[in-house]
Structure 1
Amino acid sequence: MGVFHPFSAVLLLSCSVLCDHSALAELPKEFPCEALSINVDKNRLKFLSERAFGTLPSLRSLSLDHNNISFITPGAFKGLPNLVDLKMAHNEYISYLHTRTFAGLKKLARLDMSDCNLFNIPDRIFVEQMALREVLCFQNKFRRIPGAFRDMVNLTHIYLEKNKIEAVAYNSLLGLGNLRYLNLEENRINVIHYRAFQDLLRLENCYLNDNLLTDLPRDCFQGLTRLKTLNLGGNLLTNVSKTWFSDLVELEVLYLDRNRLLAIEEGSFENLTSLITLHLNSNNLTALPFPVFQPVYFLGRLYLFKNPWECGCSLEWLKEWMESYKLVRNIPCASPSSVAGLDLGEVVFGRANGSCVDPPELNATAAWLAPSTTEDRFHSLLSRLLQLELRDETGNGTEYLRNGSLPEAALSAGARGQAVGSRRPHVYPLVTWLLLGFGGRLEFGFGVFGT
């Protein structure tokens, strides 16, 4: 069409106008009135005047992504009465929106303002947009959840990840009875107020991961009986309370990974009868008592790696579960020392009177009790005997020998008598026996012994 002649990149295809990558500094003066969609992505647009697109009654989709827009005149979209989808993402100079920015867009259902520079939006900015269903405002600079979302009864999806939000207030999400999807990941949330989610009775997916939460209110998710995915990973939680998930009867996926969990209260998962996948990896858990999991009948995947597991009898049930159902693997043991570094599946539990016996801790003196070579054994023992001779003359040497681990044959009757009757001579028969036993010639520290 003649009106598009100056812009060689503009094509009219099935009522769609494509002006992307055209180095446009301003919009064309006219667009075809029958256009269903307009794409002016990746240009150099800086300013949208009032009625910037004229009157386009057929237009359903408008994309202005990746421009340099810094100001939108109130009423810029008037004349687009049937616009459903508006994309203005990746305009880094947009830091402010007027209350009347979206005036006239009464059928707007989807708005994308992601990756801009917004600090807030006016509370009444969506007063005409009661049909709005999806709002994407991730990667901005919001410090609170915009009050503009309250009472948007048709809103189903809110994307607010990668902002600077610090709290979910008790009134932040009021009136959102049809919300299905809420994403607040990668913010700075350190507190969630009591009953903050009370109106989200249809919520199915909630992402609160990678924030600064250290605790949650007692009945944080009360009433969310339709929730299917809950992500609390990457926070600072140290325990799991049995009050948190009591209403989540349809929950299928729960993320508690990358926290600082030390304990899980018994009964925490007892109502999660629909749970399929549970992520507990990358925490500080050492034990996992069986009663914590006993009610979770249908669990399909359990992730437990990167925890300092204490592989004692309290985890024997988990090993058996691993072997029977193949639903969990990679559980490296941190203690006791005799099994440290092994996977739980490789640990062999002992039995005494039919009961499980914990693997032992390695004795710190085990290396002396079982030296690696014959010469090492001689050096170690002789060194200990010589140290006895340097003790104060208190008569404790013979008592030490009686309680030691030397062979009885090493002490002849005469040697024993000598040891009892004198403070020091008891060492020499032993040294003689040791030297004879080691072939009559060994070097030891300061000299050479021989027979």
Structure 2
Amino acid sequence: MRVISSLLLASLLLLLLLLPSIEMKRPAKGRGLKGARHKLRRERVKGVGRHSRSGRSKIAAPDCSEFTESRDIYVDCQERRLTSIPTSQTWSKPPKHLLLTRNRIKVLREGAFFGYESLISLDLQQNQISLVEEGAFEGLTHLTTLLLQHNRLTTLSEETLIPMPNLGYLRLYDNPWNCLCQMDSLIRTVQVPSNRNLGNHARCAEPIRLKGMKLKQVDPEILCLTEVPTGIPEDVVHIDLSYNSISHLKPRDFLGAKSLRTLNISNNNMEHMDTASLSGLLHLLALDLSDNKLHSVQYGVLEDLYFLSVLKLEGNPWVCDYSIHYMVYWLRLHPGVKHSGLLCHAPLEHVGESVEEYVHSYNRECPKDRQRSRTDPDETDPELWNTPMEVQGELEEELEPSHLRVPQKYQIIRLS
């Protein structure tokens, strides 16, 4: 009995010692179920918005909400830190109202709203939009309301609005509008009497003479200069005539601007520059002629620009024929001038070629119609030398243009 009692006591003590460890190893049902539910919920959240009903992949913020009100489908993507427009395949049904307020969108690219043809209203206010490409709103034929206020837009053209024929409400205020020539078409559009709800309260931020004036009150006729203003003060050092409609620089246009250092005539309709059009600009350092309609620069135009260091030429339809040679020769004589954009746009066989390379190849290769075969017997027969025909040939050679003669050891090119 004593032995049995001792065994029972020992077993009881052993059981008491093992009980805490058993309790510690037992899984907690509440915590385990809660964790499983949490994991399942997390997986569901990850899957939200990834696949449409057809199972295709989606590229969009998954936390935008969709809801229906008065039978219209709304998509609410406000404050989602979006940097671009979500694709239309993101949503279960085509929305009629798209809310994109307070995001980080900076540019509206061409075709940005492809697939959103059913939209009636589009809210893009309070983003960082500074550029709307032409064709950005293509396809939005049913849109009646567009909100673009509180952004960073400086210019917008009427062409951008053409794809929205039913647009009745357009909000543009609180943008830093630069009321120059490129705003001409938009300003004329918002001033049409029937467009009374387009562009209300939008104001010019620049230029200074128009700052604070409403777009609906700006006279469109004063936005675009068609010629260089007269009476430029002598002490002016910077002139910016970009984004106007100047097509022709006439002699002595800048004669009074003797202290001028930089001149910007980019983004005009410039087709011709007279020989003395830049006369007197002896101290000019930078000249911007980019994005015009220049085919060549007339001989002598650049002769007064002794200290020029920057010359911008891109965006012009340069024609690579003999009329372009002056520009290349002048640049060779002024190696300190940093230039850009001198590319052939015509004729077809030289499109995309550097103008300098074209002139180099022009001087290197004799035109085919002037080439003569080396096996021509008239060239090797001594009896024909010093004949009237030979003398006539020498005279014709003297009258040939210098670029067709055999290169000499030394060559002097006089430009002025």
TM range (shorter): 0.3 to 0.5
Q: What TM-score does the superposition give when structure 2 sets the normalisation length?
A: 0.39
- Structure with greater proportional strand content: 1
Higher relative contact order (CA 8 A, sep 6+): 2
- Structure with greater proportional helix content: 2
Q: What TM-score does the superposition give when structure 1 sets the normalisation length?
A: 0.37
